[in-house]
Structure 1
Amino acid sequence: MSDAAPAAISAYTPSPELKARAMIALGSVFCAAVICYVPVGLHLSLGLTTIGAASALLLFIFSLVIFGLRHHGFKRFGAANTVTAIRAAIVSLIAAAVLFPATAAEGSLASWAFVGLVLVALALDGVDGYLARRSGCSSALGARFDMEIDALLILCLSVAAYFLGKAGIWVLLIGLMRYGFVLAQVPLPRLRGDLPPSFRRKLVCVVQVAAMCLMLVPGLEPPLSTGIAAIALGLLAWSFAVDSHYLLSAARSGK
C-alpha cells in the first residue's frame, strides 16, 4: 500500500483566517463526536474509560492537523478535510474500543456495531478525496491526514482480529507495515521520495479495510478468517514492495 502524499509544498505561515476556519471545523467535529460518543458508548457498554480515550485521541489528532496547517497552502480548510476529520472521530472510537476490550460489550451486538462503524469510515474514505479533487484543494496536509487515518484504522482492525482469535499474531503485520515503512526511512532515506499517484495503492488500502472488516463479522472463524487475512497481507506486502523498488530505483538513477 504505502499510500503517499503528493509532492510536498513548501511550508509557509498559515494565515489567521485559515487557522480560524480550521479551528471552527475541527472544534465542531470534536464537540459533535464527544456528544455522540456518550450514547454510543453507553449503548454498547464501552465504559467511560473508552469514551475518554476516544476523545483524548481525537483531540491529539486534531492538534497535529492544526500544527500541520503550514503544509496546507489554501485559505480554506476545505470540506474534504472536514470529512476526513469525521472519519478521524469514528476511527478514534474504534481505536479506544480496541485498546480497552475488557470494557466492551460482549456478543454480536457490539461486533455488528463495530463493523458498522468501520463501513461508515470506509464509505467516507472515498468522499473526502472526491471533494478535494472537485474543489481543487488537494494539499500535502489533506493527503497525509487521509493516509494516516487509513493507517490507524487498519492497525486497529488488525489488533481486533488478533484479540478475537480470527488469525494468529502475524495478522498484526497488516497494521504495522505502514509504520515499519516509515521507520525504514531512517536507515534508508531514499524511501522518503515522492510516489506518483497510484490507483493500485488506493485499491489495496480499500481491500485491506474491507478484508479486515469481513473478518470481524460474527460467525466467520478460522480457517476462513485466517485465509482472508493471509490474502490481505500478501497484497499489502506486494504493494509495499512495488513502491519500495520504485523509490530505491529512482534514487539510484537520480530522478
Structure 2
Amino acid sequence: MTSVTAPAGTGSSRAPVVGLAAQLALLALLGSTLGLTPTGLIAGAAYGLALCGLLGAGLDRAGMTQIGPANAVTLARAILVGGVTAMVVTSFVQPVNTAALVTIAGVALALDGVDGQVARRTGNTTALGARFDMEIDAFLILVLSVYAGDRFGWWWVAIGAFRYAFVAAAFFAPWLNAALPPRFSRKVVAALQGIVLALVTADLLPTVLTLAALTVALGSLTWSFGRDSLWLYRASRIRAAARERWGAPQRRPALVH
C-alpha cells in the first residue's frame, strides 16, 4: 500500500507532468540503445499518457497537491512498466534484449516491496495510494503474461487478465465489489505470479519446466479468485437473507395537522 501526503496548499501536483517527462525520456533511451520499433514506442508513450492522466485525475479528486515518498517510488515503478510495455510490443515483430527486459521488469517487481515498506514506516496511507500500487502491479503482470503468451500459448494471458475479468464481472454482479477479509495466501499467490513470469521472461527454464511453472501460477490464481468469489457470493446471500428476514427499516408516517 502506498501513501499520498495531505495537501500543503492550493494548485495541482506536478508529479504527473514530471512522470510523463521521465516516461518519454526512458522510452527515448531504450529506443536509441535497444532499437525498439515505432509501434513499441507508441505503445509505451500511450501507456505513459494514460498513467499520468489518471494519476493527475486521482490526485485532483482526492484534493492532493503533492505525492508522498511511497507514491514517488510507485510512480518510478510505473515508469519502468512503460518501458517493459514498449519492449514487449516490440518483441511481437523482432527480438528484444532479454537481459534488459528482465532487468527492468525485475526492478519494477522488486520496488513493489519498497513502496510498501516506505508507506508503513511513514504511516501515511490513503485509498488513492493503495489503488495506484494495485493497478501498477496488475498491469505489469498483464504485460508479462502477454509476453509469455506470445511464446508459450495465448491461454497464459489469463494470468494477467484474471483481475480485469473480475473487475468486469463486478459490473454485472455488484456483490463482487464487497470487501474481502485479509488473507496471507492471497499475497503469496500474487507474488508467485511475478516470480514465475520473471523466470519465463528470462528464459532460464527448459520448456517443460516453464509450462509446469505457468500451470502452477495459473492454477493457484484460479483457486484464489475462485475462493474469493465463492466467499463474496455466500456473504451476499447472507446479507440478502438478513434483509428479507428483518426487512428494511420503515419510515415513521408524517403527522397531519
Corresponding residue for residue 9 of structure 1 = none
Q: Shift of residue 139 of structure 1?
A: 1.3
1:35-77 deviations in whole A, cap 9, x for unaligned? 2322222221113442333122112111111212256476642
Q: Shift of residue 117 of structure 1?
A: 1.0
Pair member with larger Rg: 2
Q: Shift of residue 160 of structure 1?
A: 0.4
Q: What amino acid is aligned across from residue 239 of structure 1 in structure 2? A: S
Q: Shift of residue 239 of structure 1?
A: 1.1
Q: Shift of residue 122 of structure 1?
A: 0.8
8 Å CA contact 2:74–2:112 kept in 1: the answer is: yes
Q: What amino acid is aligned across from residue 37 of structure 1 in structure 2? A: L
Do residues 176 (structure 1) and 157 (structure 2) align?
no
Q: What amino acid is aligned across from residue 194 of structure 1 in structure 2? A: A
Moved over 6 A (4+): none
CA distance in 2, matches of 1:33, 1:249: 44
TM-score (norm 1): 0.83
Corresponding residue for residue 212 of structure 1 = 197
Q: What amino acid is aligned across from residue 180 of structure 1 in structure 2? A: A
CA distance in 2, matches of 1:183, 1:221: 35
Corresponding residue for residue 100 of structure 2 = 113
1:180-202 deviations in whole A, cap 9, x for unaligned? 10111122110001123333222
Q: What amino acid is aligned across from residue 129 of structure 1 in structure 2? A: G
1:132-169 deviations in whole A, cap 9, x for unaligned? 222222111111111111111111111101212xx322
Do residues 245 (structure 1) and 237 (structure 2) align?
no
For residue 56 of structure 2, the aligned residue among 61, 66, 85 is 66
8 Å CA contact 2:7–2:64 kept in 1: the answer is: no
8 Å CA contact 1:71–1:139 kept in 2: the answer is: no
CA distance in 2, matches of 1:53, 1:168: 22
Structure 1 stretches of 5 or more lacking a match? Answer: 7-13
SS at match of 1:224: helix
In structure 2, relative to structure 1, the CA distance for the partners of 1:244 and 1:119 (3 Å cut) is same
Q: Shift of residue 233 of structure 1?
A: 0.4
In structure 2, relative to structure 1, the CA distance for the partners of 1:204 and 1:53 (3 Å cut) is same
Corresponding residue for residue 11 of structure 1 = none
Q: Shift of residue 29 of structure 1?
A: 2.9
In structure 2, relative to structure 1, the CA distance for the partners of 1:197 and 1:41 (3 Å cut) is farther
Corresponding residue for residue 9 of structure 2 = 17
Q: Shift of residue 93 of structure 1?
A: 1.6
TM-score (norm 2): 0.82
Do residues 41 (structure 1) and 31 (structure 2) align?
yes
Q: Shift of residue 103 of structure 1?
A: 5.2
Q: Shift of residue 96 of structure 1?
A: 2.3
In structure 2, relative to structure 1, the CA distance for the partners of 1:87 and 1:32 (3 Å cut) is same
Q: How does 1:81-92 map to 2 (within 5 A)?
A: 81-92=71-82
In structure 2, relative to structure 1, the CA distance for the partners of 1:221 and 1:44 (3 Å cut) is farther
Corresponding residue for residue 151 of structure 1 = 138
Q: How does 1:175-194 map to 2 (within 5 A)?
A: 175-194=160-179
In structure 2, relative to structure 1, the CA distance for the partners of 1:137 and 1:79 (3 Å cut) is same
Q: Shift of residue 101 of structure 1?
A: 2.3
Q: Tell me whether 145-154 or 200-209 shows the greater mean CA deviation.
A: 200-209
Corresponding residue for residue 160 of structure 1 = 147
Corresponding residue for residue 96 of structure 1 = 86
For residue 228 of structure 1, the aligned residue among 213, 222, 228 is 213
Corresponding residue for residue 57 of structure 1 = 47
In structure 2, relative to structure 1, the CA distance for the partners of 1:240 and 1:102 (3 Å cut) is closer
CA distance in 1, matches of 2:107, 2:130: 19
Q: Aligned pairs, how many? A: 237
Instruction: Give the number of the structure with larger relative contact order, counting CA–CA contacts within 8 Å between residues 6 or more apart.
Output: 1
In structure 2, relative to structure 1, the CA distance for the partners of 1:19 and 1:237 (3 Å cut) is farther
